[in-house]
A and B are shown apart, each in its own frame.
Chain A
Amino acid sequence: QKEVEQDPGPLSVPEGAIVSLNCTYSNSAFQYFMWYRQYSRKGPELLMYTYSSGNKEDGRFTAQVDKSSKYISLFIRDSQPSDSATYLCAMSAEGGKLIFGQGTELSVKP
């Protein structure tokens, strides 16, 4: 079993939809939780990070961490075609290496 599980999709939604992306993990030592966006043929771009549990909002993006369920989510409101990309969750323990999910390929149709 992988330490971090992420549904690879692909996920296709109409413009304006609310998108929910999720990851589950098994290592209870994980404290740092990140979401990256990767466009085709580019490096991943840090979108949001959360330390420990809770919610964090940044514009149209909201990240949630539920450590009791070992489950993290990224919500995208009012999705745009420019949001079409692969979204990767990543997490690490204190001082540890970053472990990435497989990535979810998202397509937002105009």
Chain B
Amino acid sequence: KAGVTQTPRYLIKTRGQQVTLSCSPISGHRSVSWYQQTPGQGLQFLFEYFSETQRNKGNFPGRFSGRQFSNSRSEMNVSTLELGDSALYLCASSLGATKETQYFGPGTRLLVL
């Protein structure tokens, strides 16, 4: 069974631009969560989608948004990029609503210049 895939793997943007990251969950998984990982703050929860509905949201500004499609694929968008948005963005999928079987993708490394 294929794992969680994320595209693109690497991205360089400049301040003020916007970016869209994509995540394809494991086949059959309906829950997709997004995380930001930085050396200083560690892994921080952004939001979770289950059957196209946002179930949980972390403490990030409104510039960070996401959505999930009917095939469970998910996208996250960051508008008006700031230097501090440079991070590894990780997507994780799970079969149902609980987190114990959550599997992570390889991440998208975003660098904002």
Binds B, one of A9-17, A73-81, A100-108: A100-108
For A97, list chain B residues within 8 Å (CB): 33, 45, 48, 56, 58
Q: What's the interface size class on B, roughly?
A: 20 to 34
A-B contact count (CB 8 A): 56
- Per the bound structure, the CA–CA distance linking A95 and B31 in Å amounts to 12
For B44, list chain A residues within 8 Å (CB): 100
- The secondary-structure label for the interface of chain B is strand
A34-B100 in contact given A43-B107, A96-B56, A98-B33 (Cβ < 8 Å): yes
- Taking Cβ atoms with an 8 Å cutoff, the residues of A that contact B are 32, 34, 36, 42-46, 49, 51, 88, 90, 92, 94-103
- Taking Cβ atoms with an 8 Å cutoff, the residues of B that contact A are 4, 33, 35, 42-45, 48, 55-56, 58, 90, 92, 97-107
15 contacting pairs across A/B (C-beta < 8 A)? A34-B100, A34-B102, A36-B104, A43-B104, A43-B105, A44-B43, A46-B104, A90-B43, A96-B56, A97-B45, A97-B48, A99-B45, A100-B35, A100-B44, A100-B45
